[in-house]
């Protein structure tokens, strides 16, 4: 009987830990704004004309691309995680757009970065 109670208590403890861990995982959010590299975001975030005119050439330059990508929402630049950077790089290789990179990104905020789940060009 004592063994059964101990096993039952251990199972309940594990279940409560699992439920607690799941409760702490935030729900994904959708972020809509302008695609920007970190280097240029310092100068362009919040300036609508500069964000609209940010070019494919600039986004794909080594220094800009190497700084990482993110989305500008309002005046705030929110960087992507490694997966988001990879999705962005693949998108930039195939896009026919030259400027005005409005995107919609879904993900969870982790350590001040978006852990990107989905990345898409915003449809007007």
The token pair at 51 is 């964000």
Q: Tell me: the pLDDT tens digits for 6-61?
A: 655 556 566 665 555 555 778 899 999 999 999 999 888 888 899 999 999 999 99
pLDDT at 26: 81
3-class DSSP assignment, residue 90: helix
Q: What are phi and psi of 95, to 5 degrees?
A: -70, 150
| Predicted pLDDT at 69 | 96
- pLDDT tens, position by position, 75-92: 999 999 999 999 999 999
Quick: pLDDT tens for 94-122.
Answer: 999 999 999 999 999 998 999 999 999 99
What is the value of pTM for the model shown?
0.78
Report how far residue 32's alpha carbon sits from residue 47's, in angstroms, rounded to the nearest whole number.
16
- 63 is written with which tokens? 């220094």
Share of the chain above pLDDT 90, in %: 66
């Amino acid at each position: 009987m004592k063994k059964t109670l101990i096993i039952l208590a251990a199972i309940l403890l594990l279940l409560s830990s699992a439920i607690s861990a799941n409760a702490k995982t935030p729900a994904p959010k959708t972020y809509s704004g302008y695609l920007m590299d970190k280097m240029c975001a310092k100068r362009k975030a919040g300036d609508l004309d500069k964000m609209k005119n940010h070019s494919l050439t600039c986004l794909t330059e080594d220094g800009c691309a190497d700084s990482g990508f993110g989305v500008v929402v309002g005046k705030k630049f929110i960087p992507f995680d490694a997966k988001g950077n990879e999705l962005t790089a693949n998108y930039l290789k195939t896009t026919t757009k030259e400027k005005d990179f409005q995107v919609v990104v879904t993900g969870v905020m982790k350590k001040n970065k978006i852990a990107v789940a989905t990345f898409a060009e915003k449809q007007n």
